[in-house]
Structure 1
Amino acid sequence: MSKAFIAAVLQDSLACTGVATAKAADDLVGAIVAELEQEGGFTLPSFGTFSVHKTKARKTLNPRTGEPVKVNAGKTVRFKASPNLKKAV
């Protein structure tokens, strides 16, 4: 799914211009990202839950050279599908 796909669906259902729906799709994605940054999670009922998880620093190997590489700690986003979405798919 892309922002263009979201904009096309909005344009079909709302009968708006492409520019307006593209702006709405950008705003929607921006709002989701802001919510993940501030609250650490975001839930869409009947779809699923996005949550931010911390990753630990670790050592791994460069697959090309075989040299050890240090990977810094960071954050990643995880998704858990709702039961309704699991049944639908």
Structure 2
Amino acid sequence: MSKAFIAAVIQDSINCTGVASNKAAEDLIGAIVSELKKEGRFTLPSFGTFTVHKTKARKALNPRTQEPVKVKAGKTVRFKASPNLKKAV
């Protein structure tokens, strides 16, 4: 799914211009990102839940040279599909 796809669905749904639907899609994605930053989780009923998980610093191997590489601690987003979505797919 892309931002263009979301904008096209919005445009078809409410019969607005492409510029307005692109703005709505940007605002929707921005709201989801800000909620993830603020709360650490975002739930779309009947779709699923996005959660932010912290990753620890670790050592990994460069697959090309097989040399050890340090990977910094960070954050990643995980998604868990709702039972309704699993049933629909």
Give TM class, smaller chain. Answer: over 0.9
What residue is the counterpart of 2:47 in the other structure?
47
What residue is the counterpart of 1:2 in the other structure?
2
Q: Please give the per-residue CA displacement for 1:33-53, whole angstroms capped at 9, x wherever unaligned.
A: 000000000000000000000
> How far is the alpha carbon of 1:18 from its aligned partner?
0.2
Q: What is the root-mean-square deviation in Å for CA atoms of aligned residues?
A: 0.3
> How far is the alpha carbon of 1:71 from its aligned partner?
0.3
Q: Please give the per-residue CA displacement for 1:19-63, whole angstroms capped at 9, x wherever unaligned.
A: 000000000000000000000000000000000000011101000
Q: Which runs of 5+ in 2 are unaligned?
A: none
Equivalent runs, 1:1-89 vs 2, <5 Å = 1-89=1-89
Runs of 4+ off more than 3 Å: none
Secondary structure in 2 matching 1:51? strand
Secondary structure in 1 matching 2:60? strand
> Identity over the aligned pairs, expressed in percent?
83
Q: What is the aligned residue count?
A: 89
Scaled by the length of structure 1, what TM-score is found? 0.99
Scaled by the length of structure 2, what TM-score is found? 0.99
> How far is the alpha carbon of 1:2 from its aligned partner?
0.4
Letter in 2 for 1:7: A
Secondary structure in 2 matching 1:66? coil
Letter in 1 for 2:39: E
